[in-house]
Chain A
Amino acid sequence: MKKVIISVLGIDCPGIIATVSRFLYENDSNIENVSQTSLQSEFAGIFIATVPATVPIPEIEQKLADTVEPMGLQVHVKPVEPRHQKKTAAVAESFVITTRGPDQKGLVARITAIIARYEVNITNCQAVFKGGKDPNDNIMIYEVDIPPQADQSALFRDLREKGAELSLQVSIQHRDIFKALNRI
């Protein structure tokens, strides 16, 4: 058996997970992990599965593509690379960065450029744009893991400066506060 990752993209409709999982079942494969999300009307799903070692990956991809083609979905299958996790990842501190203010081109690019410069990994990123005229209804949320060697205060300073430049209200808070407030 070998491990593959399958991504599925397309317009959301009932039956996507059912179709993909039936295909895997009928092809002697086992789903190890699955995650899906939908943004507006679009669906994206990723599956990690073990498939028979004897079948070449391009063949699996082609068969799956044919199966989901009537649903208007695109698929991509690739082998799962062995994980080379950095040793320090375990002690990284999790923070939540939010920016609030007028939507504009390059907003995410400019904020994430700073985060990347400090080699900080984004673990989750969400946009909460309610629409309407109030710029305060536009919130970008970045959950990040800050490794101990990163200069936390310099990172925070740079983010706040960039925020001021873009007329954004930037807040940076340790993740635990959100857990403490919202979870039992």
Chain B
Amino acid sequence: MDTMLTSREIVATLEMLQSEHLDLRTVTLGINLMDCVSDDLETLRRNVRTKIKTLARHLVATCNQISDKYGIPVVNKRISVSPIAIVAAPFDASQMVAMAQTLNDVAAEVNVDFIGGFSALVEKGLARGDRALIEAIPEALSRTERVCASVNVASTRAGINMDAVLMMGEVVKAAAEKTAAQDGLAAAKLCVFANIPQDVPFMAGAYLGIGEPDAVINVGVSGPGVVRKAIDRALAQNPGWDLGMISDLIKRTAYKVTRVGELIGREVAESIGIEFGAVDLSLAPTPNVGDSVGEIFQSLGLRNIGVPGSTAALAMLNDAVKKGGAFASSHVGGLSGAFIPVSEDLNIADAAREGHLCIEKLEAMTSVCSVGLDMVAIPGDTTTETIAAIIADEMAIGVINFKTTATRLIPVPGKKAGENAYFGGLLGQSVIMPVNNARGDNPFILHGGRIPAPIHSMKN
């Protein structure tokens, strides 16, 4: 027989749910679309619609039911699909837009808020489908609400495709301009990656990799509020704790948070008869007080995220989260670490507004966090070359350090640094951060070609 639960265990769990925002951030159903291919666009669209509807029809209801059973909110239910640049390789840009429309419609039909996989993998070069998809991104993202796009332009094994980087500079800017009335919202649904993982459940980077099964459930846990409260409680009782002890506490907390994801993910997968993939154990904030990664920095004793010491604090946090999570689940995947999306985290957005956090510091921090320059609003008149150059810098960090990095930059049309950009909902709002040399030219970027893959020895 099981041993009795102790009242302490029960009360601690209640606290995490009722006042610390413990939830499952996303259950993402990955669907392989490779068996839908056709050289006839209408056939392809029909096959895609049928396959997604068949597999995802019970997703939302099942998540809600299991969420009720355990009393843990499943905040988002989402879908990721095979890279559309490959699935729809024979088609041109306008036909790619039609594909995006199909994905958007079927996402609405099965009631998921985002569908990811309007994606291309071009780290070593662009195939016909890749080119068409990238060209279609601004139109596709401005005409749809639920579709998310990602383009992998670099990897540690291939180097950085600088032609693709320059294209993405143009695409990011064009996407933002097509949604000028919404402060460039389309660009908030577009990630540019180095070393993209195949099983990310989080948007906007979610897609289903080619090595993945026909259908798979990946879950993303969250829990910055839980980590923060644990640190606050511990330091209130033991103000003398050193960073080794604090790191251990974060580890134990990450363990608990990940266990929730593992339990619910497996049960959802079993209920709808789909394989369970991986838990992405990321600290993903939302624009709510108490659900912030930035607040953790303050609990650790930093005035704000961005002040000196922030990179060290983030390195410790990210590593402790991974260690705790890896012990809690044998199948950890996706991005796994701490996210620092500026507009999606009230506290980080405030740090940017107060001038404690600048893009350069943010970039430094991305070398030790799980993703990159995420949800960063920049002035609308930033040139495509400068945008591409920021992307290239971020890719270089990922490529050299064998890690995933990404950019989600929003050049907010018609607005200048210091003004406010508003994206709404989970995407939040932020001050527009100043960019060094925003309007200058950048001949370096125009050289094009590919920055070679780095040497894998002589690590310094």
* A residues apposed to B, CB below 8 Å: 96, 98, 100, 124, 126, 128, 139, 141, 143, 169, 171-182
Q: Using Cβ atoms and an 8 Å threshold, which residues of chain B touch A139? A: 7, 11, 14
B71 in contact with A178 (CB, 8 Å): no
Instruction: In the A-B complex, list the 5 residue pairs whose CB atoms are closest, starting with the nearest.
Output: A173-B71, A182-B9, A177-B70, A180-B259, A180-B263
User: Least Cβ distance of B256 to chain A in Å?
Assistant: 5
CB of B40 within 8 A of chain A? no
Contact A181:B7 (CB < 8 A) given known A169-B18, A171-B14, A174-B69: no
The answer to whether B442 has its CB under 8 Å from any CB of chain A is no
Cβ contact within 8 Å between A177 and B72: yes
How many residues of chain B are within 8 Å of chain A by beta carbon?
22
Q: Are B5 and A175 in contact (CB-based, < 8 A)?
A: yes
Q: What are 6 pairs between A and B in contact, CB < 8 Å?
A: A128-B11, A143-B4, A173-B13, A177-B13, A179-B2, A181-B12
| B455: interface (CB < 8 Å) | no
- Which of A128, A175, A181 has a CB less than 8 Å from the CB of B260? A181
Known: A173-B70, A173-B71. A182 touches B7 (CB 8 A): no
Whether A177 contacts B9 by the Cβ 8 Å rule is: no
Q: Mark B16-45, 1 if CB is under 8 A from A, else 0.
A: 111000000000000000000000000000
Give Cα A124–Cα B1 distance, bound, in whole angstroms.
13
Which residues of B lie under 8 Å from residue A172 when comparing CB positions? 71
Taking A177-B13, A181-B13 as contacts, is the C-beta distance between A96 and B5 under 8 angstroms? yes
- B interface, over-half SS: helix
Q: Is A126 in contact with B7, judged by CB distance below 8 angstroms? A: yes
Is the beta-carbon distance between A98 and B256 smaller than 8 angstroms? no
User: Within the complex, what minimum Cβ distance (angstroms) separates B378 from chain A?
Assistant: 40
Contact of A178 among B9, B18, B69, B262 (CB under 8 A): B9
Alpha-carbon separation in the docked complex, A181 to B17 (Å): 12
Q: Give the distance to chain B from A149, nearest Cβ to Cβ, in Å.
A: 18
Q: A174–B13 Cα gap in the complex (Å)? A: 12
CB–CB B263/A178 < 8 A = no
Report how far A76 CA is from B421 CA in the complex, Å.
74
Expressed in whole angstroms, the minimum distance between the Cβ of B66 and any Cβ of chain A is 9
Inter-chain contacts of B18 with A (CB < 8 A): 169, 171
A175 to B18, CA, bound (A): 17
CB within 8 Å for A180 and B262 given contacts A128-B11, A173-B71 = yes
A96–B70 touching, CB < 8 Å: no
Residues of A with C-beta under 8 A to B458: none
Q: What separation, in Å, do the CA atoms of A100 and B2 have in the docked complex?
A: 25
Chain B contacts for A124, CB-based, 8 A: 4-5
Q: Decide: B260 and A177 in contact? CB cutoff 8 A.
A: yes
Is B236 located at the chain interface by the 8 A CB criterion?
Answer: no
Contact A182:B260 (CB < 8 A) given known A139-B14, A177-B13: no
**In the complex, A139→B260 CA distance in Å?**
23
A179 to B259, CA, bound (A): 9
From A124, A174, A175, residue with most partner B Cβ within 10 Å: A174
User: Cβ of B70 and Cβ of A100 under 8 Å apart?
Assistant: no
A143 and B11 form a contact (CB under 8 A): no
Whether B10 contacts A180 by the Cβ 8 Å rule is no
Known: A143-B4, A172-B71, A176-B263. 20 other contacts (CB 8 A): A126-B10, A128-B7, A139-B14, A141-B7, A171-B17, A171-B71, A173-B70, A173-B71, A175-B5, A177-B72, A177-B263, A178-B5, A179-B5, A180-B263, A181-B12, A181-B13, A181-B16, A181-B256, A182-B12, A182-B13
Interface residue from B10, B262, B263 paired with A96 (Cβ < 8 Å)? B10
A98 to B7, CA, bound (A): 10
Q: Provided the pairs A173-B71, A181-B256 are in contact, do residues A98 and B263 lie with their beta carbons within 8 angstroms? A: no
Question: Please, which residues of chain A bring their CB within 8 A of the CB of B256?
Answer: 181-182
How long is the Cα–Cα vector from A83 to B25 in the complex, in angstroms? 46
- Report which of A100, A143, A174, A179 forms a contact with B14, defined as CB distance below 8 A: A100
Q: How far is the CB of B253 from chain A (nearest CB, A)?
A: 10
| Alpha-carbon gap, A96 to B12, bound state (A) | 13
In the complex, A176 Cα to B70 Cα: how many Å? 8
Chain A contacts of B12 at CB under 8 A?
A: 181-182
Least Cβ–Cβ distance between A46 and chain B, in angstroms = 15
Interface centre among B69, B72, B256 (most CB of A within 10 A): B69
Give the Cβ gap from B316 to chain A, nearest Cβ, in Å: 23
Cβ contacts under 8 Å, B13 to chain A: 173, 177-178, 181-182
Give the complex CA separation of A98 and B14 in angstroms: 9
CA distance A173 to B4 in the complex (A): 15
CB neighbours of A176 from chain B (8 A): 70, 263
Known: A171-B71, A180-B262, A182-B256. A141 touches B4 (CB 8 A): no
Query: From residue B309, how far is it (CB to closest CB) to chain A in Å?
Result: 31
Contacts of B71 in A (CB 8 A): 171-174, 177
Q: How far is the CA of A173 from the CA of B16 in the complex (A)?
A: 13
Complex Cα gap A98–B18 (Å): 12
Tell me which residues across on chain B come within 8 A of A180, comparing CB atoms. 259-260, 262-263
- Cβ–Cβ < 8 Å partners of A174 in chain B: 69-71
Q: Is the CB of B260 within 8 A of A143?
A: no
Chain A nearest CB from B342 CB (Å) reads 31
A178 touches B4 (CB 8 A): no
- B68-112 toward A: CB 8 Å interface, digit per residue (1/0)? 011110000000000000000000000000000000000000000
